[in-house]
Structure 1
Amino acid sequence: MRRFGQGLLLMLAGGAVLRISLLSELYLRYVKEGLRLPLVVSGAVLLLLGVCETVRAASHGDGPGADHGHDHSHLPRSAWLLLLPVLLLLLHAPPPLGAFTAARESAKAPASAPRTPDRQVKFAPLPAGDPVPMPLSEFTLRAQHDRRQSLRGRTVRMTGFVTPDRSGAGGWRLTRLVISCCAADSQSVTVRMRGAAAPPADTWVTVTGRWSAAGTLGTPSAANELRVESLAEVERPASPYTDTVARPPG
């Protein structure tokens, strides 16, 4: 019975990993895109080991109904706790992290932009035409470090999920969670939204608007805020942990 139980757990675990990585893109809720191949390989190895262990148990008469008249060691009860996460992945994969997580951690500083020899932050010119699709991290960098003030007078479009702002500063926050490896190391990138009522928390939206003129644009005093001109609810992206440019709704 012990070997049969081990084989069953291994097969279920392998099947669960393959279900989210090979048969769907659910793995993007937990790890970054580049880890798909290692997950597929790991799932296949676990499944193969489970099959081998089950066949081995059957060949030795150690099936679930076997009785040799003496005591068999069983799997530790704690080992069966692995069934819960495995069954969740097989039957109903948990959703990605959202507003609950983002509201309880400090916002992530945007990645550094290229710099000129005199150490000034360098930005590529914005494309012609409004609105300009823009990641949240780029908006923050341009608002606080672009001395050419490329955001002034421009309309930008960004996509993220709604996070309530409990700081007392008013408005609400548009958020993306970014990861280095997996959801456990996620950090939030946020921009405060003003001029529009907050949709329910965790709602994914695309917002269009202009930089909220507070502080001095192009300096650290610049407000990391957008004055919303339009807002549309959108579907959660397949890869929720990537701060990518917004796509037009619909």
Structure 2
Amino acid sequence: MATRLLGVGITAAIAVVTIVLAATGSLALYINPDGSWFAIGMAVVALTGCVASFAIPLGREAEHDHDHGHVAQAPARRAAGAVAGAVGGTIALVVVAAALLLPPASLSAQTAMDRDLGVTPLFGGDDVIALATTGDTATFGVGDWASVFATAPDSRLYEGTTVTLTGFVTPSKSGGGSQLTRLVVTHCVIDAQPASVPLVELASSEETGQWVSVTGTVEANSAGDLVVRATEVTPIDEPADPYEY
């Protein structure tokens, strides 16, 4: 009974947390909103399975514990299974406790800096470049511009473009200066990658991790690299949805 209640309890707790996060609009802090329907559907299936499991008589699963000619090894296998179950159960309980006790929170600026390898991931690829050359960049976020800056075949195609971007301030890995950063999520926060665009003339009062709205112009610096010359920087609170997708 204890084993069954542990399994059912952990499954039900995770399912309920998933549904509550979705109902309160906080599920996007952990997964891409495009995948919310799948997470919610699986949570409902899990809860249904938890209820249905009580229709199975206790001990029924033991009827399938056959030795298949390895009688001498059965006790060892059962002992190993018990240890593995205890370890797995402990890990699962820690995960459930964290989900229940800790408030929903986004990944920090420090996490973004830790994941920054100094190489810009290409979030948009060819589609971003093709769209940028048409001048239709109104919907571009930090991730889109980071891809454009990293792959621009000719900086003159983008110079003079006015941008308004939202992100948090991080120090540049290439030396002095600051950059505007967002975490880009493909499926969930586990695969979140930092995207950054270099800023010129950012007010020195903006500390690392401060969320800001930046209005500026794309230009090429003396090295021919694209940067955003900030004309207006406004500190803001972290947005309800802090990621790009």
TM value normalised by structure 2: 0.71
Provide closer, same or farther for how the CA distance between residues 198 and 175 of structure 1 changes in structure 2, counting only shifts above 3 A: farther
1:125-204, aligned counterparts within 5 Å? Answer: 125=135, 134-140=140-146, 141=148, 144-145=152-153, 149-152=157-160, 154-168=161-175, 170-195=176-201, 196-197=203-204, 199-204=206-211
**2:168 match: secondary structure:** strand
Displacement of 1:199 in angstroms is 2.4
Displacement of 1:13 in angstroms is 1.8
- Aligned residue for 2:93? 83
Displacement of 1:15 in angstroms is 1.0
TM value normalised by structure 1: 0.70
Rounded to whole Å, the distance in 1 between the matches of 2:145 and 2:91 is 45
Displacement of 1:177 in angstroms is 1.6
Deviation string 1:224-244 (CA, Å, 9 cap, x unpaired) is 32222211122333433316x
Verify the 8 A CA contact 1:11 1:51 in the aligned structure 2: no
Deviation string 1:25-47 (CA, Å, 9 cap, x unpaired) is 32212221111111011111222
**2:243 match: secondary structure:** coil
Aligned-pair identity in percent equals 23
Displacement of 1:172 in angstroms is 1.2
1:28-107, aligned counterparts within 5 Å? Answer: 28-53=28-53, 55-56=54-55, 76=86, 78-104=88-114, 105-106=116-117, 107=120
Provide closer, same or farther for how the CA distance between residues 114 and 6 of structure 1 changes in structure 2, counting only shifts above 3 A: closer
Higher helix share: 2
- Aligned residue for 1:229? 231
Verify the 8 A CA contact 1:10 1:49 in the aligned structure 2: no
Verify the 8 A CA contact 1:171 1:198 in the aligned structure 2: no
Provide closer, same or farther for how the CA distance between residues 115 and 228 of structure 1 changes in structure 2, counting only shifts above 3 A: closer
Are positions 1:9 and 2:10 aligned together? yes
- Say which of 121, 124, 128 aligns to 1:108: 121
Greater shift after overlay, 203-212 or 91-100? 91-100
Structure 2 unaligned blocks of 5 or more? 59-81
Structure 1 unaligned blocks of 5 or more? 61-72, 216-220, 244-250
Displacement of 1:155 in angstroms is 3.3
Rounded to whole Å, the distance in 2 between the matches of 1:115 and 1:12 is 41
